[in-house]
């Protein structure tokens, strides 16, 4: 099977930015859901930077800054189709999202206030095993 060449290896990605987020606890995570693509994005917002997805399997990708390879979050594809059925805690939070005043549309959703940290934490925790050491840094940053 012909495959697209990988341009970056997982062990090249850095976790310094995540370590700083874990230490400072001053940055709030952003959670976005792309309904058309069924993908959940959980990341620390950065200004004027190109963010690249690095797939660790066919559903989970680390998000990193192109210029310095620093990990800033993750992207989970087939989120409602595959990820939620396999992760009860996250599925429970997902079901609760419609009861909050911040959600007005079933499509692209941006979580506000107290929901963001919890969703980010649960998603990262669920993906942590797959992500290895980088997952631990993510969990510390979002925790």
Name the site residues for other proteins (rule: CB under 8 A): 1-8, 32, 34-37, 39, 41, 49-55, 57-58, 61, 66, 78, 81, 108
Nearest distance, CB of residue 108 and other proteins, angstroms: 5
Give the integer Cα–Cα distance in Å for 111 and 39.
Answer: 14
According to DSSP H, which parts of 61-132 are helical?
Answer: 84-86, 88-96, 115-131
| Triad 131, 126, 25: Cα angle to 5° | 80
- The nearer residue to other proteins, 22 or 103, going by C-beta atoms, is 103
Nearest distance, CB of residue 67 and other proteins, angstroms: 8
How many CA atoms does the CB half-sphere of 115 hold within 13 Å? 19
Nearest distance, CB of residue 107 and other proteins, angstroms: 8
- The nearer residue to other proteins, 58 or 129, going by C-beta atoms, is 58
């Amino acid at each position: 099977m012909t495959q697209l060449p990988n341009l970056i290896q997982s062990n090249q990605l850095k976790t310094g930015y995540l370590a700083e987020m874990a230490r400072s606890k001053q940055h709030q995570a952003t959670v976005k859901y792309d309904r058309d693509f069924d993908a959940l994005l959980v990341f620390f917002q950065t200004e004027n930077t190109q963010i690249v997805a690095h797939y660790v399997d066919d559903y989970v990708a680390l998000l990193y800054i192109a210029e310095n390879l620093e990990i800033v979050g993750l992207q989970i594809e087939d989120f409602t189709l595959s990820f939620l059925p396999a992760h009860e805690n996250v599925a429970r939070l997902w079901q609760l999202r419609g009861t909050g005043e911040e959600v007005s549309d079933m499509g692209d959703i941006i979580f506000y206030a107290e929901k963001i940290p919890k969703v980010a934490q649960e998603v990262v925790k669920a993906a942590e095993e797959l992500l290895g050491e980088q997952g631990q840094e993510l969990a510390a940053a979002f925790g």
